[in-house]
Each structure stands twice: as C-alpha cells, then as structure tokens.
C-alpha cells in the first residue's frame, strides 16, 4: 500500500518514476520521458542529470536517449540476492532454461498488474521480447491468468469491476466466461496462451507457492509456436511443474 501523501517527497517520487520508466522503456529522450511522467521538460532534465550523476542512468551521446546505468545494475543484483523468491528461483530457472533453450520468466502480482522479477532468455534468434520490471494487466498472458486464477476472490472481483468501469465487460455472461476460464486454469494446474501478447508466441505458466500454500508467483516458458507446438505442451508443463515444485519447496511449501 502506498504511504499517505504527506509522507511522500514529490521530488523523490518523480525521480523514481523517471527511473522506473527508463527501466521499462529504454531509449527514450528527455521530451518523451517528461511527457509520459507529466513533468515539465526542464524539471525532468534536472532530475535526469541528478540520476546520471549518481550513475543510475546514462545518456547516449549520439541519440540523447537514456538507459539504466551501472548503479542501477548494482541495485538490481542486490535486490535479487536479498529477495527470497528470486534467490530460491535462480538456479532452478537457469537449469530449465538450459534444458529446453526457451525463455523462462518469473512474475508476481502487484494489485491488478503483474511484474517480471526474473528472466532467463533463450539463445535462439527468434524469441519473445521482454525485460525484468516489465508490467502488464493481471489478465494478460498465461502468467497473468495463473496469478489471477489463484488470487483471492476479492482480487477477481476488483479486476472485473475495473474492466467493467472501462467498458470492457459488456455483459454478465462475459464475467461468467472469465470465471470459467480461470477455474479451468486451477483445475488443470496451468495456463496457456497462443499469440495473445505477441503474434506466434506460445506461453505456458504454472503457480509457485510459499510456505503457507499461497500462490506468490507464476513460472512460465515462452517461445515461438514452431518451438512449442501443441504436441509439446504436456512435456513442457511437466518440466515447469517440476521446477515450480523445487522452487516452492525451497520457500517452505510442502504438498
């Protein structure tokens, strides 16, 4: 939960907003960064200069675009080492990635979004695009469906209420269909998506549980449909579930 407004320092809040935007969308210039964050250009530029002085961002001399700097990498590595979930998942995800040479991703839910917290890329030329820190609506993709399927009922209700307000939920039958799809994910133990976020990309995802049995993350494998045909689904899901069980066991979960 975000702290009350009186406890938030606006300049720090804005600077961190810029840093987060650069992490999710590298190669933007000061004008676009200012527009996306709602800052005026001169204020955004001063904040970027401050971040650059502390090596959190770098500006390309040719394009004038910004990307994360070495200090951001230091913070990221420290966060991975200090985060129990990421620390427990690393070796298991890397082993799965090396076994199948497809992209392996760990995502968590924050309110009604999912965030990529760990990612191991395929070495293949054709592979899904993405990055650590990437955010998506909670229902998007196989990972999102896993996190929403195993979320408390209140979260499902909040999601349906939100899309209803946006005019994306047109009837009661639409809500019933979403509930049915999520219940199917729970019943079979995994979620799948084909071309939902990127044309021709298949994703399969399973839940990761903590010591209490709660689903705290989704573990997924994604790649081109030519690499992950429907005939390979069962085998990939079996590997995903084995990896998920290993991570969950390190987090204290016992089936």
Are 111 and 65 found together in one domain?
Answer: no
Are 55 and 90 found together in one domain?
Answer: no
Residue 151 within any structural domain of the chain:
yes
pLDDT tops 70 at residue 3: no
Q: How confident is the model at residue 81 (pLDDT cuts 50, 70, 90)?
A: low
pLDDT tens, 161-205? 888 887 777 666 788 889 999 999 999 999 999 999 888 899 999
Residue 65 within any structural domain of the chain:
yes
Mean pLDDT of the region 62-77: 88
* Domain housing 49: 5-74
Partnered with residue 191 across adjacent β-strands are: 205
Whole-angstrom Cα distance, residue 27 to residue 123? 23
pLDDT value of residue 128: 74
pLDDT value of residue 2: 54
pLDDT tops 70 at residue 26: yes
pLDDT tops 90 at residue 78: no
CATH number of the domain encompassing residue 12: 1.10.10.10
Are 33 and 113 found together in one domain?
Answer: no
Domain-ending residue, one of 54, 74, 94 = 74
Domain-ending residue, one of 18, 43, 74 = 74
Mean pLDDT of the region 95-120: 94
pLDDT tops 70 at residue 82: no
pLDDT value of residue 176: 87
Are 121 and 218 found together in one domain?
Answer: yes
Where are the strands (E) in the chain, listed by range?
57-59, 66-68, 103-110, 113-120, 135-137, 191-194, 201-209, 215-224
Residue 166 within any structural domain of the chain:
yes
Whole-angstrom Cα distance, residue 246 to residue 222? 20
Whole-angstrom Cα distance, residue 215 to residue 198? 26
pLDDT value of residue 80: 64
Are 112 and 169 found together in one domain?
Answer: yes
Record the tokens describing residue 10, joined without a space: 């606006």
pLDDT value of residue 130: 77
Residue 147 within any structural domain of the chain:
yes
Are 130 and 51 found together in one domain?
Answer: no
Domain-ending residue, one of 74, 97, 132 = 74
**Domain count of the fold of the chain:** 2
Answer for the pair 207, 146: CB distance below 8 angstroms, yes or no. yes
Are 22 and 109 found together in one domain?
Answer: no
Are 104 and 212 found together in one domain?
Answer: yes
Are 139 and 217 found together in one domain?
Answer: yes
pLDDT value of residue 72: 86
Record the tokens describing residue 241, joined without a space: 């579930």
pLDDT value of residue 77: 72
For residue 248, how many other CB atoms are within 10 A of its CB?
25
Of the candidates 66, 148, 73, the one whose C-alpha atom is nearest the C-alpha of residue 107 is: 148
pLDDT value of residue 190: 97
Whole-angstrom Cα distance, residue 16 to residue 10? 10
CATH number of the domain encompassing residue 227: 3.30.450.40
Answer for the pair 247, 208: CB distance below 8 angstroms, yes or no. yes
Query: Which carries the bigger pLDDT value, residue 50 or residue 74?
Result: 50
Are 63 and 91 found together in one domain?
Answer: no
Q: For a pLDDT cut of 90, what percent of the chain falls above it?
A: 65
């Amino acid at each position: 939960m975000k702290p009350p407004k009186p406890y938030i320092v606006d300049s720090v809040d804005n600077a961190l907003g810029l840093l987060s935007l650069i992490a999710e969308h590298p190669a933007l210039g000061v004008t676009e960064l200012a527009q996306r964050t709602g800052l005026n250009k001169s204020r955004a530029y001063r904040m970027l200069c401050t971040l650059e002085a502390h090596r959190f961002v770098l500006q390309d001399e040719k394009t004038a675009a910004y990307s994360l700097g070495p200090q951001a990498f230091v913070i990221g590595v420290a966060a991975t080492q200090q985060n129990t979930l990421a620390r427990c998942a690393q070796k298991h995800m890397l082993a799965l990635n090396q076994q199948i040479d497809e992209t392996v991703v760990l995502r968590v839910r924050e309110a009604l979004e999912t965030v990529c917290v760990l990612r191991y890329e395929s070495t293949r030329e054709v592979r899904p695009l993405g990055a650590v820190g990437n955010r998506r609506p909670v229902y998007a993709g196989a990972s999102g469906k896993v996190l929403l399927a195993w979320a408390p009922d209140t979260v499902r209700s909040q999601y349906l209420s939100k899309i209803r307000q946006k005019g994306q939920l047109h009837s009661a039958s639409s809500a019933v269909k979403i509930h049915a799809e999520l219940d199917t994910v729970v019943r079979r133990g995994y979620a799948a998506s084909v071309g939902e976020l990127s044309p021709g990309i298949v994703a399969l995802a399973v839940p990761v549980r903590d010591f209490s049995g709660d689903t705290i993350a989704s573990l997924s494998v994604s790649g081109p449909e030519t690499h992950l045909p429907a005939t390979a689904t069962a085998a990939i899901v079996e590997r995903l579930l084995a990896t998920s069980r290993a991570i969950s066991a390190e987090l204290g979960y016992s089936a």
